[in-house]
Chain A
Amino acid sequence: MTISLDAVYAVSDDVVAREIEGEIIIVPLVAGIGDLEDELFTLNETGRAIWDKLDGRRSLNEIIKELSAEYQAPPGELEADVLGLVSELARRRMLVAV
């Protein structure tokens, strides 16, 4: 799946996400079922920082710039992380392009 850095993504309506004991827990609703047995995910610290910015308003480029400033990390490294996570979440239909 090709992801453009100019694209804007938001969390799909077919996802339930909750913060529990400091961790973000995500359950996609597939075919009308939230599968807490086999399809329950969490994100590491980097993934969580990216997830929090996928609000349907900021492009991926803007997200990378913000994260680069916040974490003082090279944009090139962050770009790979952002594209990797967004690609995986979009493949699982947990994100939708706005």
Chain B
Amino acid sequence: MPGGVLSLSGLALQEFLRAVLAKGASFRFKARGLSMLPFIQDGDVLTVAPSPARRPRPGDVAAFCHPETRKLVVHRVLARRNGGYLLRGDNAPESDGLISFQDVLGRVTRVERDGREVRLALGLERRLIAFLSRHNLLQPLIFRASRMLRPLKRRCPV
């Protein structure tokens, strides 16, 4: 086939996502950024399902169009409010504010890292993560956990 494999970003990526979702299909793409660490890492491949199939609930990770930057963002739903969702990255210092329903494109249903599915943070534990994030408890907890893990890594080099 003439041409080759490409990668899309920014508005082009968003336009494709909207077009794919409009057909009722899911889309799969590579995440960029650190705002969802440690559960979603830079370079993880995400699958996003269209929202009408099941509207995002607190704890779900959702893809949305940021109302100010118009960029595609993938963050966690903390709460549903009148007119939209309150979202925040697991590693973000503050929430994204209220994001209107129409700006939320879909819900992350699968995370892949190095070709393998990563299940952490999309199961039942997602509600606990959202609760902790909403009360500003998630980042201190992750920070303490990461400090505890470092010596173990040094002791057990693989």
| A contact set with B: CB distance below 8 Å | 13-14, 16, 18, 20-21, 25, 27, 29, 32-44, 46-47, 85, 88-89, 92
Contact = CB atoms under 8 A, between A and B. Distances in A.
Contacts of B30: 36-37
Interface string B115-135: 000000000000000000000
B2 A44 contact: yes
A21 B45 CA distance: 25
B8 A34 contact: no
A25 B16 contact: yes
A33 B20 CA distance: 8
Nearest to B22: A16
B1 A88 contact: yes
Contact of A20 (B12, B23, B26, B28): B12
18 contacts: A20-B15, A25-B12, A27-B20, A29-B20, A29-B23, A29-B25, A32-B24, A32-B26, A33-B26, A33-B27, A34-B25, A36-B8, A36-B29, A38-B5, A42-B3, A43-B1, A47-B3, A89-B1
A1 B4 CA distance: 22
Interface residues of B, number: 25
Contacts of B102: none
A10 B6 CA distance: 24
B37 interface: no
B2 A37 contact: no
A21 B13 CA distance: 13
B69 interface: no
A38 B24 CA distance: 19
Given A18-B19, A25-B12, A41-B6, A36 B1 contact: no
A36 to B, nearest CB: 4
A88 to B, nearest CB: 5
B99 to A, nearest CB: 22
